[in-house]
Chain A
Amino acid sequence: MRYATPASAKEAAGLLSKETGAAFLLAGGTDLLVKLKMGMVEPDLVVDIKRIPKIDEIQTSAKGFTIGAAVSGSVIGEHKALKAAWPGVVEAANLIGSDQIQGRATLAGNLCNASPAADSVPAMIAAGAKAVIVGPQKKRTVAVEKVVLGPGQTCLTKGEVIEAITLPKPEPRTGDAYLRFIPRTEMDIAVVGVAISLKLERGVVKKAKVVLGAVAPTAVVVAAGAKALVGSKLDDAALDKLAAACSAACNPINDKRGTVEYRTRVAGVLAKRAAKIAFPRAGGAL
């Protein structure tokens, strides 16, 4: 196994695209090293992006935030401005694994691993996050919801590297939240995850985005759930409609963590609770 530490994302993309053997990108390594240990992958080349300048930094600008692909969960959790702007995204990122995992795991890695149960992905989608993708030839920016195509599959082509995740500066009176259900209190994989972002106008929901995780091959944007909330002050009727829309959008699997029926029911319950957290964060009065 060859190990490379390129000095730029473009150089990383060049190395990955030229490699004829099995090539893998290494950021936090919390998925790659497990696969290595289990013998699920046998890399000929590992490209470690952590030596790229600024890739482990969060940049703030008038447009919003640029979170480098090697920024760990613990760094995200300590970033006050990011936490104030997108608390739901930060909560979701910080739910992944233990403190030890938080010391390494990244948003870009959670996205590229493309697990249906990835915690940060629904939250990033609800917040309007984008992935900055660098290829050997060109750079492109893709909405996070378009990146994952199926379990373990992304839209990245050979050689392409996610350099950063961007989050917009939230509009005034915006609030987001992420909740996941697990059978334990820590250290588990989502049975259902729900991310909701709301924008209010005069105390009423003006715009909403509702995204489910762990109930389908990819995260699911529930347009009908968002529609149920728009124009409401989160009254019971609107919340019931949200829950029904979320349950209807589920296409889950049966596994040891939850049955199809259970996941479908919990998605609705959790969506109501997430909406009730996002609403006051957007300045609404419940």
Chain B
Amino acid sequence: MSNATLVSTTVNGDPVQFACPTDESLMTALRNRVGLTGVKEGCGTGDCGACSVTLDGSLVCSCLVLGVEAEGREVTTVEGLSEGGELHLLQQKFIDHAALQCGICTPGFLVAAKSLLDRNPNPDETEIRYALAGNLCRCTGYDKIVHAVQAAAKEMRGKDKRSKKGR
């Protein structure tokens, strides 16, 4: 491996180091060097969103980021969504609403939907569809995905209210 550079970064809250060639994408580094295969390669050119992660909190296609750019940054992948072995509510709602079939787009949809709900806890259908326009799914026809996000958003808002009352 010529030109390999050591990269120290944080992935899903944990410090991670990997060595990668300078021209390797973050997507490939996360999959092949960090072992996070929830990051999927669809198009590799930023059109399909299957490789979506957040980088310092902003939603990006990891295929359009170099691995070396992650130095000192914080990366979150779909593997960082669940807590203590329990699925994130979005993940549970995707299962409940059958919002997937082949599943290759699902991690990207989950990361993008989480990013949307972090910014806007109460999106309407149009906002959800626009926010997920960078994620392509060839199985579901999108309706089930939109319903799953709506259901998760509703329940998350309820939980948020209850925890505020409890304080």
Contact = CB atoms under 8 A, between A and B. Distances in A.
Contacts of A74: 58-59
Interface string B117-141: 0000000000000110111000000
Nearest to A42: B23
A100 B60 contact: yes
10 contacts: A33-B63, A33-B65, A33-B66, A74-B59, A99-B112, A100-B46, A100-B49, A100-B59, A100-B61, A100-B64
Question: Chain B: interface residue count, which band?
Answer: 20 to 34
A38 B115 contact: no
A129 B45 CA distance: 30
Interface in A37-56: 37-38, 43, 46, 48, 50
A98 interface: yes
B22 A46 contact: yes
Given A29-B66, A72-B58, A1 B46 contact: no
Contact of A99 (B5, B21, B22, B131): B131
A1 B64 contact: no
Contact of A2 (B22, B47, B135): B22
Contacts of A99: 59, 112, 115-116, 131, 133-134
Nearest to A50: B69
A3 interface: yes
A59 B39 CA distance: 35
B68 interface: yes
B100 interface: no
A1 B23 contact: yes
Question: Chain A: interface residue count, which band?
Answer: 20 to 34
Given A3-B22, A100-B134, 10 more contacts: A3-B68, A29-B64, A30-B46, A37-B44, A46-B22, A99-B115, A99-B131, A101-B64, A103-B59, A187-B134
Contacts of B55: 103
B52 interface: yes
Given A3-B68, A33-B66, A37-B44, A100 B112 contact: yes
A186 interface: yes
Contacts of B58: 72, 74, 103-104
Interface string A88-113: 00000000011111111000000000
Given A34-B45, A99-B131, A186-B133, A104 B65 contact: yes
B64 A3 contact: no
Contacts of A33: 25, 46, 63-66
Contacts of B135: 98
Nearest to A32: B64
B3 interface: yes
A200 B149 CA distance: 45
Contacts of A186: 130, 133
**From A33, A37, A38, A186, residue with most partner B Cβ within 10 Å:** A33
Contacts of A100: 46, 49, 52, 59-61, 64, 112, 134
B60 A103 contact: yes
